[in-house]
């Protein structure tokens, strides 16, 4: 058995996403399955090194992951170890670019969460640094690997929609403020602009890669943000003023004449099939996808409603949709992309979701904020390769 052992520095994994999605459900899961099989008798085996500020939290997390993970509070020490070839960052956004820069300068391949910077310039500079250094680099674009969106991609590739006309996305749920003894489901920094919070910078980064990869490149954006809830309670039970936007209402102009609109909110009560739904309408059919499932309505099965508000509708509009079958096994989307990136590092297989793609996400968020401030449409220029 030939084993490619690769040390993976994981910085910021004591947070919710870092712990659950990246360590436990991705890297630790890969180790426990015996690595990534890349051929007969050949595997890639990640060896995680956990980095953070609290030694106690790191020790507990290393034990919990149960894969022999090392840990340290000294990032420079981890970067100096030649056995550690990959640096991963899941810290707060305003800490990411400086740490990623240090990793690139240390010659490490880089994989990181988004947003990759607090501005387009900062995020794009990371891409230029990694390109100049000759290190491999990638950005988490997890929603592309959700079963529901992968089914949408299959429909797109098969020509099911005919000419795509529009895309409508609804994302969000009610995040409790922390009053009335009901704990909030998200960390308090999400609602403080000074700490890098805000739904626009968070979610428009996602919508950029979803739209670019599934439908067509984004050409322009019109966005309205809002801070609907003005006060929340932090992790220590102390009330604080919310300074970041908690809702965003954005319209995107795509190439090919496609119009997309996404509502993103942490102040909405869910009455839809999932926390995220995407409806795609085309000349030959429509589809609605959630996180895992997807329903379709082809042209020949489309009902013919007639507007008459004086009587109950004779059509049950939920009936005339067909559920797409699940014809393949879907693994955790974060884990799938981790495996793709590690194969990219070791085997030089293609990996499209690089730091330039990350900068494009930050760019759309930044242009969305500009649109909100100026109350106008804003064009999205192409970032140089």
Rounded to whole angstroms, the Cα distance separating 294 from 150 reads: 9
My answer on whether 260 and 317 are in the same domain is: yes
Residue 15 sits in the same domain as residue 102:
yes
Report the candidate in 209, 75, 37 with the shortest Cα–Cα distance to residue 139. 209
Are residues 136 and 187 both part of a single domain?
no
* Number of separate domains in the chain: 2
Q: Do 153 and 301 fall within a single domain? A: yes
- Are 75 and 47 within one domain? yes
For every one of its 385 residues, what pLDDT tens digit does the chain have, with 9 covering 90 and above?
A: 799 999 999 999 998 899 999 999 999 999 999 999 998 889 999 999 999 999 999 999 999 999 999 999 999 999 999 999 999 999 988 899 999 999 999 999 999 999 999 999 999 999 999 999 999 999 999 999 999 999 999 999 999 999 999 999 999 999 999 998 899 999 999 999 999 899 999 999 999 999 999 999 999 999 999 999 999 999 999 999 999 999 999 999 999 999 999 999 999 999 999 999 999 999 999 999 999 999 999 999 999 999 999 999 999 999 999 999 988 889 999 999 999 999 999 999 999 999 999 999 999 999 999 999 999 999 999 999 9
Quote the strand ranges of 126-236, DSSP E: 137-139, 164-172, 218-226, 231-233
Closest to 235 (Cα-Cα) out of 278, 178, 303 = 178
Nearest to 149 by CA among 26, 274, 264: 274
Q: Which position has the token pair 């590690």?
A: 342
Nearest to 278 by CA among 257, 252, 299, 301: 252
Give the domain range for residue 66.
2-142+333-353
One domain, residues 229 and 295: yes
């Amino acid at each position: 058995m030939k084993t490619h052992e690769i040390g993976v520095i994981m910085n910021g994994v004591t947070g919710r996403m870092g712990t659950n999605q990246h360590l436990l459900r991705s890297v630790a899961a890969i180790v426990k399955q015996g690595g990534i099989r890349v051929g007969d008798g050949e595997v890639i085996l990640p060896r995680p090194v956990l980095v953070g500020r609290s030694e106690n939290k790191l020790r507990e997390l290393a034990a919990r992951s149960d894969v022999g993970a090392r840990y340290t509070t000294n990032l420079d020490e981890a970067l100096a170890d030649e056995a550690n070839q990959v640096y991963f960052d899941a810290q707060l956004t305003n800490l990411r670019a400086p740490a990623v820069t240090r990793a690139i300068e240390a010659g490490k391949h880089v994989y990181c969460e988004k947003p990759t910077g607090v501005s387009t310039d900062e995020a794009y500079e990371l891409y230029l640094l990694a390109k100049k250094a000759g290190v491999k680099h990638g950005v988490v674009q997890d929603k592309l690997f959700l079963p529901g969106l992968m089914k949408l991609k299959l429909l797109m590739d098969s020509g099911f929609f005919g000419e795509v006309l529009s895309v409508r996305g609804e994302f969000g749920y009610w995040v409790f403020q922390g009053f009335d003894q009901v704990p909030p489901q998200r960390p308090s920094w999400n609602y403080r602009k000074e700490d890098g919070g805000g739904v626009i910078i968070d979610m428009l980064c996602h919508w950029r890669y979803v739209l670019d990869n599934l439908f067509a490149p984004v050409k322009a954006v019109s966005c309205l943000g809002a801070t609907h809830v003005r006060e929340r309670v932090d992790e220590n039970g102390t009330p604080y003023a919310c300074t970041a936007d908690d809702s965003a209402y954005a319209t995107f102009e795509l190439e090919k004449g496609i119009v997309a609109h996404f509502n993103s909110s942490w102040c909405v009560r869910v009455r839809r099939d999932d926390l995220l739904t995407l409806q795609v309408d085309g000349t030959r059919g429509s589809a609605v996808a959630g996180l895992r499932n997807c329903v379709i309505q082809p042209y020949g099965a489309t009902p013919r409603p007639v507007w008459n508000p004086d009587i109950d509708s004779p059509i049950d509009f939920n009936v005339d949709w067909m559920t797409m079958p699940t014809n393949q096994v879907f693994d955790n989307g974060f884990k799938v992309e981790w495996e793709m990136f590690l194969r990219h590092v070791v085997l030089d297989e293609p990996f499209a979701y690089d730091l330039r793609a990350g900068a494009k996400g930050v760019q759309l968020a930044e242009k969305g904020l500009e649109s909100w401030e100026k109350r106008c449409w804003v064009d999205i220029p192409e970032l140089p390769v």
